[in-house]
Amino acid sequence: MSQKSKPPYSMKDLRHRAEWIRLETIRQIAGAGLGHYSSTLSAAEILAVLYYRTLRLDPKRPDWPNRDRFLLGKGHIAVGLWPILADLGYFPTAWLDDFGKIDSPLTDHPSMRDVPGIDFSAGSIGHNLSVGVGMCLASRFRGGSGRTFVLLGDGELHEGQLWEAAMSAPHYRLGNLIAIVDANGSSADGPTSDVMNIEPIAGRFEAFGWRTVEVDGHDVDRLVEIFDGLPDSTTPVPTAIVARTLKGKGISFMEAAPRDWHLGFLGPADRKRAEDEIRSRMQ
Amino acid sequence: MSDQALGMADPFSFTVAAEGESGDAIGRTLIELARERDDIVLIAPDVGRGPATMPFIEAFPDRYIDTGIAESNSISIAAGLAASGFRPFVFGIGAFLAPKCAEQIRADVAVNKLPVTFISAWGGLDMGYFGATHHAIEDIAILRGMPHLTIASAADNAAMRSLMRAGVADGLPLYIRAPSSLASDVYPGSPDFVRGAAHIVAKGRDVVLIGTGLGTTLCAQAAAVLKASGVSATVVDMAFLKPFDGETICRLARDARGLLVVEEHNTTAGLASLVAEALGRGGVAARMEAIGLPDGDLAVAIPQQLLNRYGLTVDAVVEKARALAHHQ
């Protein structure tokens, strides 16, 4: 398995890890009985590149003050984060087997009090860009170089508080804040912009004073290029990366019916179909 | 018209609070704490440059964060700072903290057990002149179901200082109702509060007067009047609404002819409810009365007129306490 390879990881390794995140997502949800598939699948490449290349972390010191921080706005994809944090050594991989079960620290939405490596809890959409602003201010007060990355859903852009945070980050000149929008185009009631228009996403962030970049969120090479090219954290302008993604990416029948697989459970036959598809790309 | 003519504090006055005013206690304590520790920061949604906090901002301009009129953002920002090792104070208008930001207080601060102190200023009926939107009389009801959150209410400036210092020392989420602009001194020195413990202000044998915030001020003043007419009253300051010291309430209730609860809050889900619940759980049968705000439309007027309307006066407390003491 290439997830045992050592850094620096090749582009192939990173692509491989994104597929492995998909497999582990399916495996954990199989044990739990219910889980968020399609919105985790859309973020697999983003998570792989961030954790295996971009974020400056020390898993042996989860509280290292000058680390980069990563927050989920869309907290329901924690299931995609757990295998990464276990693999990096934040907690035993055996924890993954109990995902979603009572008293397991690994829950559907993450809790900072229960899991090392979780910088902030998530659960209520729209709060964590504000929390990220607070963390970037803290880093600035301490003269640190740590950055904060916040992964948002595109449906999350419906939340009013999100725009309070978006207004405040450029005002405080927080170039150490990076928002990534997993723009998979779907929220619970339908296509995101049919429910409530959020486009142009980049244009809106630009109007609030952010530097913006659009990217295919499944293109590992481009994601690497963008994250590697982030400006120094002392820059006064925060960055918003609009990652265009496919909800359910990597499992054909979920791509075809992403809303049906927002929250669900794969029966044995469907699970095998899904895993076979993913494994075929890992050859 | 001057503030004094209105008989109310003007939150938007850009003057520094006069010595002895509630804002003075808040500002002085913030400065005191910030001199002792470098992790104290102040966050306010466009209400920082008023009398309570301006002295702090002048002393520590780099430790003040103004979020503009964005209360929710201010609380989540505070949570991010607290998760990064700071001890933030969020200073806001009482009517717009708990009611508007219950979810940020719960999900970002309380559940995560982060050391954020909320100062709910101009709470209760302090801004009652401005409309029903500005009554802050259900915050205890909104907050008391939240885990790990200590809820406190300061009877006077000395209590405010003690509560602010205790909150920073504990390092837990804390919500403090700042003293009413009409409160007066209850404590001669700094009260030594123990988190969650009732504080006995005066001991008596006939009736027990139980207050919080302005209610404690009224109870203390009423006890002095009652004493002159031969009624001996115990005065308890429930400075902590959560954790709630039901044991002390039950112990005092067993030996008294009656209990009178006084609060500048809705009586259906505030201190009176907490007392009733404690008595029920403790299996204590006691006669109990309450003075507070009704669960319905409230009048709009300057605070003293509102307090008169709803019986939050020394005279009304004396009258009810006397009736309890003489009840056969």
- The answer to whether B73 contacts chain A (CB < 8 Å) is yes
**Min CA distance, B64 vs chain A (Å)?**
11
Q: 3-class DSSP state for residue B11?
A: coil
Q: Are strands B199-202 and A148-153 parallel, antiparallel or unpaired?
A: unpaired
Question: Which residue is it, tokens 């499944």?
Answer: A218
pLDDT bin (cut points 50, 70, 90) of residue B11 is: low
Among residues B182, B181, B179, B183, which one has the least CA distance to residue B163?
A: B179
Instruction: Mark yes or no for CB contact A127/B83 under 8 Å.
Output: no
Secondary structure (DSSP) of B278-327: HHHHHT----EEEEEE-SS----S-HHHHHHHTT-SHHHHHHHHHHHHH-
Report the distance separating Cα B34 and Cα B23, nearest Å. 16
Determine the residue among B64, B73, B113 to mutate to test chain A binding: the one whose Cβ has the most chain A Cβ atoms within 10 Å.
B73
Report the candidate in A75, A38, A12, A81 with the shortest Cα–Cα distance to residue A245. A38
| Domain extent listing, chain A | 2-281
**A141 touches B at CB < 8 Å:** yes
Nearest chain A residue (CA) to B69 = A164
Share of chain A above pLDDT 90, in %: 94
Average pLDDT, chain B: 93
pLDDT, one tens digit per residue, over A142-172 is 999 999 999 999 999 999 999 999 999 999 9
User: What pLDDT is stored for residue B254 in this prediction?
Assistant: 95
Taking a contact as any Cβ pair under 8 Å apart, which residues of chain A between 152 and 191 contact chain B? 160-161, 164-165, 167-168, 172
Position B14 scores a pLDDT of: 46
* Residue A144 touches chain B, beta carbons under 8 Å: no
pLDDT score recorded for residue A18: 98
Residues 6 or more apart whose Cβ sits within 8 Å of residue B75 = A130, B90, B97, B101, B104, B105, B108, B109, B116, B118
Query: What pTM was estimated for this model as a whole?
Result: 0.96
Q: Fold for domain A2-281?
A: Rossmann fold (3.40.50)
Question: Please, are residues B309 and B299 in contact by the beta-carbon 8 Å criterion?
Answer: yes
Q: At residue B16, does pLDDT exceed 70? A: no
Asked, colleague to colleague, whether B3-177 and B199-326 share their fold, the answer is yes
Domain limits of chain B?
Answer: 3-177, 199-326
Q: How far apart are the CA of B123 and the nearest CA of chain A, in angstroms?
A: 24
CATH architecture for the domain at B3-177: 3-Layer(aba) Sandwich (3.40)
CATH class as words, domain B199-326: alpha beta
ipTM of the complex as predicted:
0.96
Residue A253: exposure state from Cβ atoms within 10 A (0-12, 13-18, ≥19): middle
CB distance A135–B80 less than 8 Å? Answer: yes
Return d(Cα B273, Cα B261) in angstroms, integer: 10
Which of B167, B135, B156, B168 shows the shortest CA–CA distance to B294? B135
Contact A77, A40 (CB under 8 A): yes
B299-314 pLDDT, tens digit per residue, is 999 999 999 999 999 9
B84 vs A123, A128, A135: nearest CB: A135
Please compute, for residue A257, the number of CA atoms within 13 A of its CA located in the half-sphere on the CB side.
Answer: 5
Of B73, B75, B111, which has the smallest distance from its Cβ to A121's Cβ?
B111
> Other CB atoms closer than 10 Å to residue B225's CB: what's the count?
16
Tens-place pLDDT, residues B183-236:
889 999 899 999 999 999 999 999 999 999 999 999 999 999 999 999 999 999
Residue A133's φ and ψ, nearest 5 degrees, are -60, -45
